[in-house]
């Protein structure tokens, strides 16, 4: 079976005090683990038993009868993506290739920050906000529940989890406060740049404008 419950990319106290040890232990060890365990149970003995999680998600999204599998597999994938979107000492203005694309597509860092926070805060109920590369340009959008860019479209670069269990112990119902903390002190720009390279290399076109090649 190719499904894997990967270890966190840091110790459980690495993001203290912004993202507390207690929150991370509960969120990763209980919520995420449950999604993973449910996915394993649901694919055992099926055509998906040896499939990659991305393929499971795309296939399960096609049929309402596979909704339970989609929800659990997608939440497993979303959480792995979220953990890597954070780092100790992160946040602030971007650096590297992503900074140029943010200036080009999102009116600079302030435009990115305002749009990303708005998307996170205004997502009704549980869900996620995403920075994605789609059709060669950066976009920001939110998804409800387990939905993600694997089915909505675009190459995901960054996400924030806005399910209440992601932040309630540290911020109670103050989602805007959590979004600020994420953007200012946790956001892992190095990982965003790595994901950007996986999508394709940004190169200037003949007209002098920047475009992203190899991204879908």
Return the sign of the alpha-carbon dihedral for residues 151, 154, 159, 160: negative
CB atoms under 10 Å from CB of 24, counted, come to 22
- 201 pLDDT band, cuts 50/70/90, is very low
CA 166 to CA 160: how far, in whole Å?
9
pLDDT at 110 over 50: yes
- If asked whether residues 122 and 167 sit together in one domain, one would say yes
Q: What is the predicted pLDDT for the residue at 141?
A: 98
Residue 176 CA, distance from chain mean position: 18
Q: In what order do the strands lie in the sheet with 127-134?
A: 137-144, 127-134, 155-161
CA 51 to CA 36: how far, in whole Å?
14
Plot region of 215 (φ>0 → left; ψ -120 to 50 → alpha; else → beta): beta
CA 13 to CA 81: how far, in whole Å?
19
Residue 108 lies inside a defined structural domain of this protein: yes
- 1 pLDDT band, cuts 50/70/90, is confident
Q: Say which CATH number the domain at 58 has.
A: 1.10.287.990
Q: Say which CATH number the domain at 140 has.
A: 3.55.40.20
* Residue where one domain finishes, among candidates 35, 53, 84: 84
Residue 15 lies inside a defined structural domain of this protein: no
Total count of domains within the chain: 2
- If asked whether residues 201 and 123 sit together in one domain, one would say yes
- If asked whether residues 102 and 204 sit together in one domain, one would say yes
CA 208 to CA 99: how far, in whole Å?
17
Residue pLDDT, tens place only, 163-186: 999 999 999 999 999 999 999 999
DSSP 21: H
- If asked whether residues 101 and 193 sit together in one domain, one would say yes
Residue 9 lies inside a defined structural domain of this protein: no
pLDDT at 206 over 80: no
- If asked whether residues 108 and 208 sit together in one domain, one would say yes
- If asked whether residues 130 and 69 sit together in one domain, one would say no
pLDDT at 30 over 70: yes
Residue length, the chain? 216
Which residue segment(s) compose the domain that 182 sits in?
Answer: 97-212
Plot region of 65 (φ>0 → left; ψ -120 to 50 → alpha; else → beta): alpha
**Are 119 and 144 within 8 A, CB to CB?**
no
- If asked whether residues 59 and 124 sit together in one domain, one would say no
- If asked whether residues 153 and 47 sit together in one domain, one would say no
CA 178 to CA 189: how far, in whole Å?
18
Residue 32 CA, distance from chain mean position: 14
- If asked whether residues 110 and 143 sit together in one domain, one would say yes
- The contacts of residue 122 (CB under 8 Å, 6+ apart) are 142
- For 101, the token pair is 């694309």
Residue 34 lies inside a defined structural domain of this protein: yes
pTM for the predicted model, two decimal places: 0.91
């Amino acid at each position: 079976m190719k499904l894997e419950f990967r270890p966190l990319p840091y110790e459980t106290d690495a993001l203290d005090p912004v993202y507390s040890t207690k929150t991370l232990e509960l969120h990763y060890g209980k919520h995420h683990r449950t999604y993973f365990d449910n996915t394993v149970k649901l694919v055992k003995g099926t055509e998906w038993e040896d499939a990659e999680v991305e393929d499971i998600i795309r296939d399960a999204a096609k049929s309402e009868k596979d909704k339970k599998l989609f929800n659990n597999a997608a939440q497993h994938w979303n959480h792995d993506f979220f953990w890597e979107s954070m780092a100790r000492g992160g946040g602030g203005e971007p650096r590297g290739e992503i900074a140029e694309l943010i200036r080009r597509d999102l009116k600079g860092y302030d435009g990115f920050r305002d749009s990303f926070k708005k998307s996170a805060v205004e997502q009704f109920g549980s869900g996620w906000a995403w920075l994605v590369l789609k059709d060669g340009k950066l976009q920001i959008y939110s998804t409800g529940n387990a939905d993600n860019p694997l089915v909505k479209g675009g190459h995901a670069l960054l996400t924030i989890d806005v399910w209440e269990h992601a932040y309630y112990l540290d911020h109670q119902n103050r989602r805007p406060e959590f979004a600020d903390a994420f953007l200012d002190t946790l956001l892992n720009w190095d990982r965003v740049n790595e994901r950007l390279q996986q999508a394709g290399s940004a190169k200037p076109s003949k007209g002098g404008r920047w475009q992203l090649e190899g991204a879908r």
